[in-house]
Amino acid sequence: MLCFSALAPFADAIAKILGQTLPISLIVLFRFVAQMVILLPLVALTRRTWSFTPRVLRLSLMRTVLHILGIGLMVAALRVLPLADAIAIAFVLPFLMLLLGKFILHEEVGPRRLAACAVGFAGTLLIVQPSFQQVGWPALLPLAVAVNFAFFILITRSVSKDIDPMALQVVSGGMAVLILLPVLGGYYLWAGPAADLTAPNATEWMLLAGMGAIGTLAHLLMTWSLRYAPSTTLAPIQYVELPVTTFAGWLIFSDLPNGLAALGITISVSAGIYIILRERAMLAQP
């Protein structure tokens, strides 16, 4: 999980660079092409199982559609927001997962954890506020990413019990390519010259390959970590992603959160860690 938290911000940084010159649709497409190309030989060499029940196939398709939307929304957000701000806003995800657990999965969630949710969301609003003043409604895109990936994680939890994670990633990449190619091809044929489609240059090809490789590896590392340790143990480690993201934003883009956003990040992280500690305390009770 530490390796995931160290790698993921750099994949997002590459996506931010590419988003300034390439259409979002192409970035998303090549992200999934890279995922399929990298993992397909590994699945074949390690002879992993490919058994998919109709239920798993349906859920995998839903998961793939959510993954496409989530990556597309994040790339759109990174076009206009500083890297650290976009990722910090998306970290409202743990609070959404807690609320979904209460109202959809009917899990027991006490008043203190609900109060921590409210505090954490208030911290997120502090991060959004200066960004919203600067760029308007696109500052809300990371919130949409968080909602999207909350449902993505719920489906992943259900599917991962019945299929090998690496095989799932290969099938997900193939589904995404099969969905995106006809949709994008139809759009560009319909739009014609107005689509402004240009082939990536040599540097952009290298960045696309790097983003795909880093993103694929990071996602696998996170999936493997969840196989060996409970999410309540690993979740606090994922907050390492925020300082790494801040460092990457400063190193590559010379961006740093302003004082209000930094306060919001501190509040959100503190509330998230409190929720995790409460989860562990609840699990420890007889």
| Crossing angle of helices 165-191 and 24-46, rounded to 10° | 150
Averaged pLDDT, 107-131:
73
| Closest to 273 in 3D by CA, of 137, 119, 55 | 119
What is the SS3 assignment for 128?
helix
CB 267 within 8 A of CB 126: yes
Token pair recorded at residue 41: 């030989």
% residues pLDDT > 90 (the chain)? 27
| 113-116 contact pairs (CB < 8 A, 24+) | 113/275, 113/278, 113/279, 116/271, 116/272, 116/274, 116/275, 116/278
Token pair recorded at residue 253: 């883009």
Residue-wise pLDDT for 138-151, tens only, equals 888 988 998 898 88
| Average pLDDT score, the chain | 82
pLDDT at 178: 94
Residue-wise pLDDT for 30-52, tens only, equals 999 999 999 999 888 887 777 77
pLDDT at 27: 92
| Closest to 199 in 3D by CA, of 76, 26, 68, 34 | 26
pLDDT at 223: 73
How far is Cα 127 from Cα 122, in angstroms, rounded to an integer?
9
Residue-wise pLDDT for 188-245, tens only, equals 787 776 666 678 899 999 999 999 999 989 888 877 776 676 555 566 677 778 788 8
Alpha helices by DSSP H, listed for the chain, are: 2-19, 24-46, 54-80, 83-90, 93-103, 111-135, 141-159, 165-191, 202-228, 231-238, 241-253, 259-284
pLDDT at 230: 59
pLDDT at 236: 62
pLDDT at 158: 77
pLDDT at 196: 66
% residues pLDDT > 70 (the chain)? 86
CB 141 within 8 A of CB 131: no
What is the pTM for the complete model shown? 0.83
CA quadruple 118, 92, 63, 28: dihedral sign: positive
pLDDT at 37: 92
Residue-wise pLDDT for 50-95, tens only, equals 777 888 889 999 999 999 999 999 999 999 888 888 888 887 776 7
pLDDT at 77: 92
CB 211 within 8 A of CB 33: no
